[in-house]
A and B are shown apart, each in its own frame.
Chain A
Amino acid sequence: MTTKQQLISESPYKPVLAKITEYVRETHDSFTIKLDWKIHHQPGQFVFCSLPGIGEAPISICSHSDEYIELNIREVGNVTKKLGQLKVGDELLVRGPYGRAYPMRDFEGNNIIIIGGGCGVAPLKGSIEFIEQYRNKFRDVSLFFGFRTPDDTLFRKRMDVWKEKFNMHVSFDKVAEPSKACYDGSQGFVTQKVNELVGDNTNTVVFICGPPIMIEKTSEILLNKGFKEEQIFVSAERLMYCGMGKCGRCMIHGRYTCLDGAVFRYDELKDYKDD
């Protein structure tokens, strides 16, 4: 009996090469890269970025185009810190896209409210770009963004454009005195603005992404205002390794963040946010 050697040439774990075509430093600990990777994706999906020898990290896509992919990355771990040291022209390994997207097509004809906090603005940017591309399919679109300080603002150039197109409100938790950065927004938590300005819930859906506490408080306010749980879409993220429901690491009360998320309808997760 002989030993057979089998070459595994097709594997879902195998990444492909992508080149960085643009690099923008957003804040002291985050940056945005544009990759020449042409892959069809939907708002809210994510990809895995890896550097051989360093490791792999899931990153949400923050653009909507079949020609390229943009990723906004915050430098927190080994992989993301190393990614931050790359420059235009450098290559990295990517695989994906994974995850359930925002069901944008289902919301056509609706008002959309998008609420983002800190680096949670990044995954929402894809859906905003989608709305920009199909602007006439959606009715009123409001954006609420919260950042810690004006220096932490992401996508400054895009913000200037969005300000013209949508009802945009930016708030900062703290504004240093005197502020160095030129900013356009108010002081306070994003929840305050939401509380003040969001009213009617008819034909409206809400996307929320940000730190867990911000998601919780914002949803609470919206529910008090009469929004239904089915109208609210939140993001939840966990540690993940495979992106295809095999590694079991991202499970939240039986739901895989990689297959059933990272976008969840509020009622799917409400009781198990901490699990």
Chain B
Amino acid sequence: MSQQYVLKKENFNNFVEKVMADYDFIAPVKAKKNILRSKSLYQKISNPEDIFLDDHSYHTVKGFFNDPREKLFDFDGNKIINPVIELRQRVFFGLRKCDLNGIWHQDMVFLDNKHQCDPFYKARRDVSVLIGLHCNNGFEHCFCNSLDLRSDFHDLMFFDKNNDFIIEVGSDKGRKIIEIASDFLEQGDNLLTEEDRKIKNMGHELKTTNIKKFYHHEDWKTKGADKCLACGACNMLCPNCHCFTIEDDVDFSLKKGTRIRKPAPCQLKHFTRVAGDHIFRQDKTARFKHRIYHQLQYFQDRHDVQFCTGCGRCIAGCPARIDWIEIINNME
């Protein structure tokens, strides 16, 4: 059985400072007002006071694992120059169940040895320690209870219980953190009840994840795509969406340059544009359905687990607040 530790909340800052001495510490912070308007996002912090845990972060951590401008290699004419990436040991703190599962899903895509493991993702992933934070209560747009998510994918998991954090160890990487901060921790056993492991008061519920039979349903268009502004915000905020594009950037010698990988949102028209200017998913409804079906069906068909992690960021971040959960719940 996994070991448990108790961290008194008054010692939390000491814990963070101790870990920070050996690792970059990345945690949700309240954004500066003019940038994000009181929402939170993950950033590297230097002061434990900055950590903000009252809300579900608006942005995800996926940018830390897949750089939005990942250099695949440099070239000089036809000569390929291997890229160098800078890595620092780092700890992600405050990852919710949805974030952790999102990372697990990215692992399935990028660390899939059968279809070539992605060395960039792997390198960034290898230096990362994932510390989760259990949500005692859900947030407005969450619905993770309606999905089959893993609750054992973490290096450490924090449970907020009264005046303490109960910590569960999930891996050797996590155990190392425990060793570093052992001064502030007390070992314990069976400190969590079934009730403590539940997420209560979730804002949303998805009635069914089996949406195969709804593929030709009218509502995708009338209730969803007809409100969609085709801005791609949902893709950019999703912890899972990983589609990308590859581009060459050259300097003025026109010989030297870099091949770069950038995220590409599937809700945008140009996502499926091929040479000769043909666009396969020209229709907004097709694009909308593609996103939802990828989240609930396509990934499941391939990996036996739903892609969607129920974080609701795509609803919270949609300018038109297209609530696809409601759309599915009302389908018959």
Chain A residues proximal to chain B, CB less than 8 Å: 1-15, 17, 52-57, 76-80, 91-93, 237-239, 241-242, 244-249, 251, 253-254, 259, 274-275
Chain B residues proximal to chain A, CB less than 8 Å: 21-24, 72-73, 75, 77-78, 80, 82-89, 109-110, 112, 115-120, 123, 127, 242-248, 250, 254-255, 257, 259, 261, 264, 266, 271-276, 280-281, 286, 290, 293-294, 297-298, 301-302
Is the CB–CB distance between A52 and B88 below 8 Å? no
Given known contacts A8-B82, A254-B293, is B77 in contact with A52 (CB within 8 Å)?
yes
Contact of B242 among A3, A54, A246 (CB under 8 A): A246
Residues of A contacting B244 in the complex (Cβ-Cβ under 8 angstroms): 241-242, 246-249
In the assembly, what is the distance between CA of A179 and CA of B182, in Å?
A: 88
Residues of B contacting A79 in the complex (Cβ-Cβ under 8 angstroms): 275
In the assembly, what is the distance between CA of A226 and CA of B22, in Å?
A: 70
How many residue pairs link A and B with beta carbons under 8 A? The number is 151
Pull 8 A–B residue pairs with CB atoms less than 8 Å apart, ordered by A: A8-B83, A8-B84, A13-B246, A55-B248, A78-B275, A248-B264, A249-B243, A249-B271
Residues of A contacting B82 in the complex (Cβ-Cβ under 8 angstroms): 7-9, 11, 14
Contact of B89 among A1, A6, A80 (CB under 8 A): A1
Among residues of A, the one whose C-beta sits closest to the C-beta of B301 is A254
Is the CB–CB distance between A8 and B85 below 8 Å? yes
Shortest distance in angstroms between B256's beta carbon and chain A's nearest beta carbon? 9
In the assembly, what is the distance between CA of A56 and CA of B246, in Å?
A: 8
Among residues of A, the one whose C-beta sits closest to the C-beta of B282 is A274
In the assembly, what is the distance between CA of A76 and CA of B123, in Å?
A: 37
In the assembly, what is the distance between CA of A194 and CA of B80, in Å?
A: 48
Among residues of B, the one whose C-beta sits closest to the C-beta of A258 is B115
In the assembly, what is the distance between CA of A259 and CA of B109, in Å?
A: 13
Among residues of B, the one whose C-beta sits closest to the C-beta of A246 is B109
Residues of A contacting B264 in the complex (Cβ-Cβ under 8 angstroms): 247-249
Among residues of A, the one whose C-beta sits closest to the C-beta of B244 is A247
Shortest distance in angstroms between A240's beta carbon and chain B's nearest beta carbon? 9
Is the CB–CB distance between A6 and B85 below 8 Å? yes
Is the CB–CB distance between B243 and A247 below 8 Å? yes
Shortest distance in angstroms between A163's beta carbon and chain B's nearest beta carbon? 31
3 A-B pairs closest in CB distance: A77-B275, A254-B298, A248-B243
Given known contacts A52-B255, A238-B280, is B110 in contact with A246 (CB within 8 Å)?
yes
Is the CB–CB distance between B293 and A253 below 8 Å? yes
Given known contacts A1-B24, A238-B272, A249-B264, is B301 in contact with A259 (CB within 8 Å)?
no
Is the CB–CB distance between A247 and B245 below 8 Å? yes
Residues of B contacting A77 in the complex (Cβ-Cβ under 8 angstroms): 274-276
Residues of B contacting A52 in the complex (Cβ-Cβ under 8 angstroms): 75, 77-78, 248, 250, 255, 257, 259
Contact of A53 among B72, B80, B110, B254 (CB under 8 A): B254
Residues of A contacting B24 in the complex (Cβ-Cβ under 8 angstroms): 1
Is the CB–CB distance between A14 and B246 below 8 Å? no
Is the CB–CB distance between B88 and A54 below 8 Å? no
In the assembly, what is the distance between CA of A3 and CA of B84, in Å?
A: 12
Is the CB–CB distance between B298 and A8 below 8 Å? no
Among residues of A, the one whose C-beta sits closest to the C-beta of B259 is A13
Residues of A contacting B85 in the complex (Cβ-Cβ under 8 angstroms): 5-6, 8
Is the CB–CB distance between A53 and B73 below 8 Å? no
Residues of B contacting A11 in the complex (Cβ-Cβ under 8 angstroms): 72-73, 82-83, 119-120
Is the CB–CB distance between A248 and B266 below 8 Å? yes
Is the CB–CB distance between A1 and B22 below 8 Å? yes
Among residues of B, the one whose C-beta sits closest to the C-beta of A92 is B78
Contact of B245 among A5, A249, A254 (CB under 8 A): A249
Shortest distance in angstroms between A211's beta carbon and chain B's nearest beta carbon? 10
Residues of A contacting B254 in the complex (Cβ-Cβ under 8 angstroms): 53
